[in-house]
Chains A and B, each alone.
Chain A
């Protein structure tokens, strides 16, 4: 049976790319994200309130750190996209997000300047009755601050469908 996992595609396993934010994240980003997700938790914006918690100050909403685009310094492409993507040799497929495994080590804080390293862990295919042959790409991102402290890891499974 034909496999769509070519040697060329296999060669992508283990590839890595790092992006470093040009500046600190800043607390306005926390408030913006909280607003966009309808979240009124004062821990993300109220200094006086946050100081009295065990976090000792405002922190980012948990998953904000796992949004890579904000750390990149890249032009907007013709689709409007500005973020990280692998240019995998998979023409005529559509990209579907499969899910995420987040692990958080410490919260992102306003003065954090974040670097993220993405790495492809695995590429495999599954033949399905309903959708044909699907290609699964498993990547992992590791987010660190300016002191090299790990804030979070994010393992992502994405699907390329015919």
Chain B
């Protein structure tokens, strides 16, 4: 749930944890994301096509991981926040009917060119502990009482 009050830069503690985000990735989730991004490739919803390509099942678009990382950052930072940078490497694919958990924390905070930024690291893991993304990095511009 997104807080109606935006996080203020001054209130951020380095080391602070971002609320974990657990998401069940159903075939419906894959179809909804594919539709929202105009990506109708069969391997996102057709198990037989995915199997013919050597995959165990329909799989998630890698950019959906980015979307969920951004969702978590914005839920934490509030509506005034703006994600400036987000980088991640995919170590594993995510398949239909898997659940992923995104965890993160604030690694540092700084004002860069007048912008109050929280630098965060995030990781994505499956329910069985398999790491999907290790140490994604993000810079989130936050509201600030001092910076206006």
| Contact across chains for A100 and B2 when beta carbons are under 8 A apart | no
Q: Is B79 at the interface (CB under 8 A from chain A)?
A: yes
- Known contacts A32-B36, A42-B2, A43-B74; A63 and B86 CB within 8 A of each other: yes
A99 to B36, CA, bound (A): 20
| Contact across chains for A82 and B42 when beta carbons are under 8 A apart | no
Return the chain B residue nearest A43 by Cβ: B79
- Measured CB to CB, the closest approach of chain B to A158, in angstroms, equals 9
Q: Is A36 at the interface (CB under 8 A from chain B)?
A: yes
Among the listed A29, A53, A63, A107, which residue makes an inter-chain contact with B66, where contact means beta carbons less than 8 Å apart? A63
**Residues of chain A from 17 to 72 with CB closer than 8 A to chain B in the complex:** 29, 32-33, 35-43, 49-50, 53-55, 61-64, 66-67, 69-70, 72
Q: Is B48 at the interface (CB under 8 A from chain A)?
A: no
| Contact across chains for B75 and A36 when beta carbons are under 8 A apart | no
- Known contacts A67-B38, A96-B93, A100-B62; A37 and B85 CB within 8 A of each other: no
Return the chain B residue nearest A159 by Cβ: B90
Q: Is A7 at the interface (CB under 8 A from chain B)?
A: no
| Contact across chains for A81 and B85 when beta carbons are under 8 A apart | no
- Known contacts A43-B74, A81-B40; A67 and B79 CB within 8 A of each other: no
Q: Is B6 at the interface (CB under 8 A from chain A)?
A: yes
Return the chain A residue nearest B31 by Cβ: A36
Q: Is A103 at the interface (CB under 8 A from chain B)?
A: yes
Q: Quick one: CB contact mask for B64-84 with A, threshold 8 Å, 1 for yes?
A: 101110110111000110111
Return the chain A residue nearest B89 by Cβ: A99
- Measured CB to CB, the closest approach of chain A to B122, in angstroms, equals 13
Q: Is A80 at the interface (CB under 8 A from chain B)?
A: yes
Among the listed B6, B32, B42, B67, which residue makes an inter-chain contact with A63, where contact means beta carbons less than 8 Å apart? B67
> Which B residues lie within 8 Å of A43 (CB)?
2, 74, 79
- Known contacts A69-B37, A99-B90; A37 and B63 CB within 8 A of each other: no
| Contact across chains for B86 and A83 when beta carbons are under 8 A apart | no
Q: Is A76 at the interface (CB under 8 A from chain B)?
A: yes
Q: Is A104 at the interface (CB under 8 A from chain B)?
A: yes
- Measured CB to CB, the closest approach of chain A to B59, in angstroms, equals 10
23 contacts between A and B (CB under 8 A): A33-B67, A36-B32, A37-B33, A39-B71, A53-B80, A55-B80, A61-B67, A62-B82, A63-B67, A66-B66, A67-B37, A67-B39, A79-B43, A79-B49, A96-B93, A97-B90, A98-B89, A99-B90, A100-B63, A102-B66, A102-B87, A103-B84, A104-B83
Seen from chain B, the residues whose Cβ lies within 8 Å of a Cβ on chain A are 1-2, 6, 23, 29, 32-33, 35-43, 49, 53-54, 61-64, 66-68, 70-71, 73-75, 79-80, 82-90, 93, 133, 143
Q: Which 6 A-B pairs have the closest CB atoms?
A: A97-B62, A69-B38, A99-B89, A36-B32, A36-B36, A43-B79
